[in-house]
């Protein structure tokens, strides 16, 4: 094969490769165009919210035993440990299992005394050198005057029929707790309630889509997408968070009701239109 024939072969090969590349590019463009036009078809989007009201089946509250003393650390610790043990024994006797009694904080902190700092005259340089005096404050460092022990515990109550929440809250105070706070009611497993709320939201959204399509003279096609947005919880309880001191609870039992919780879920549906 002479040089001229070799050049023709190379050119024919290059032309074939170019044609294949152009064909493949045309195919990709056609596929992309088909996808873009598919999403530009007429569609309709609707949103609806489903709500379900349920009764909480779990209660949680926290209590603290706070003991203070002068510089006798042992006395404060013994007092705190004895009261804390007595409370746990009371809770277990009332049917609260150990797994639902959780220590969230145990600490010992010193208490400091700060001193007043009156102004006094201080010489910067010896008076013989003619220096003048200036006012200054000379403060002694704070000193430790006592210690505070804090034992905080969270209690979970799961069986309202067997474990009287009113008596539990009052009982921990009688046993030695001097701070009770963060009482809240919850659903132990909210998945079932959320499923019901989601089903109601979808049912409402489908009804809206059918009505809008009918008014526009269309018929609904296939469901293109569905998005979910949780609306969270709305609690309505007899006694919520905050702080309850020992004097406000003991010796009487407070009136505590579980109330109800509202769970809402919003869904958005998008349909094609025929």
What is the CATH number for 121?
3.30.70.2970
The reply to whether the predicted model has a pTM over 0.95 is no
CA atoms within 13 A of residue 92's CA, in its CB half-sphere:
10
One domain, residues 216 and 105: no
State what percent of residues in the chain have pLDDT above 70: 69
Mean pLDDT of all residues in 144-169: 90
Same domain for 133 and 227, yes or no, is: no
Going by pLDDT thresholds of 50, 70 and 90, the confidence category of residue 17 is: very low
* pLDDT for 56: 87
Note down the domain range covering 132. 59-186
Distance CA(232)–CA(202), nearest Å, equals 17
Assess whether pLDDT exceeds 70 at residue 251: no
Domain match, 165 and 87 both: yes
138, 155, 186 - which closes a domain: 186
pLDDT of residue 22: 47
Over the chain, what is the mean pLDDT?
77
Residue 23 pLDDT greater than 50, yes or no: no
User: Do 47 and 36 belong together in one domain?
Assistant: no
Q: Cα dist. 230→195, 205, 241 in Å? A: 11, 15, 23
Coil/strand/helix, residue 136: strand
Same domain, 175 and 113: yes
Q: What is the total count of domains within the chain?
A: 3
d(CA 36, CA 39): 5
Same domain, 1 and 65: no
Q: What is the pLDDT of residues 79-114, one digit of tens each?
A: 999 999 999 999 999 999 999 999 999 999 888 887
- As a whole number of angstroms, the distance between CA 86 and CA 93 comes to 11
Alpha-carbon gap, residue 102 to 75, rounded angstroms: 24
φ, ψ dihedrals at 159, nearest 5°: -120, 95
* Same domain as 9, residue 48: no
Instruction: Tell me: do 136 and 206 sit in the same domain.
Output: no
Q: What's residue 226's pLDDT?
A: 87
* Same domain? 93 vs 151: yes
User: For residue range 183-240, what is the model confidence (pLDDT) as tens digits?
Assistant: 888 888 888 888 899 999 999 999 999 998 888 888 888 888 888 876 554 444 433 3
**Which CATH number characterizes residue 236's domain?**
3.30.110.170
* Domain identity same for 46 and 105: no
The pLDDT score that the predictor gives to residue 65 is 96
């Amino acid at each position: 094969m002479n040089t001229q024939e070799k050049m023709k072969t190379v050119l024919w090969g290059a032309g074939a490769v170019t044609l294949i590349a152009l064909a493949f590019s045309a195919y990709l463009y056609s596929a992309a165009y088909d996808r873009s036009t598919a999403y530009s078809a007429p569609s309709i989007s609707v949103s609806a919210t489903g709500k379900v009201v349920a009764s909480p089946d779990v209660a949680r509250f926290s209590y603290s035993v706070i003991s203070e003393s002068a510089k006798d650390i042992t006395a404060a610790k013994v007092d705190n440990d004895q009261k804390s043990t007595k409370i746990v024994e009371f809770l277990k006797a009332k049917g609260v299992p150990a797994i639902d009694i959780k220590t969230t904080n145990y600490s010992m902190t010193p208490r400091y005394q700060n001193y007043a700092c009156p102004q006094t005259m201080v010489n910067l340089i010896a008076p013989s050198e003619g220096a003048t005096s200036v006012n200054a404050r000379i403060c002694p460092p704070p000193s430790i005057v006592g210690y505070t022990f804090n034992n905080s515990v969270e209690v979970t109550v799961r069986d309202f029929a067997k474990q009287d929440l009113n008596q539990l809250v009052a009982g921990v105070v009688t046993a030695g707790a001097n701070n009770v706070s963060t009482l809240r009611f919850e659903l132990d497993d909210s998945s079932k309630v959320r499923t019901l709320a989601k089903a109601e939201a979808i049912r409402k959204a489908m009804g809206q889509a059918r009505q809008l399509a009918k008014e526009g003279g269309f018929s609904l096609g296939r469901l293109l997408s569905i998005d979910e947005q949780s609306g969270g919880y709305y609690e309505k309880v007899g006694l919520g968070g905050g702080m309850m001191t020992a004097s406000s609870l003991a010796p009487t039992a407070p009136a505590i009701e579980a109330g109800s919780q509202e769970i809402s879920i919003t869904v958005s549906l998008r349909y094609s239109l025929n």
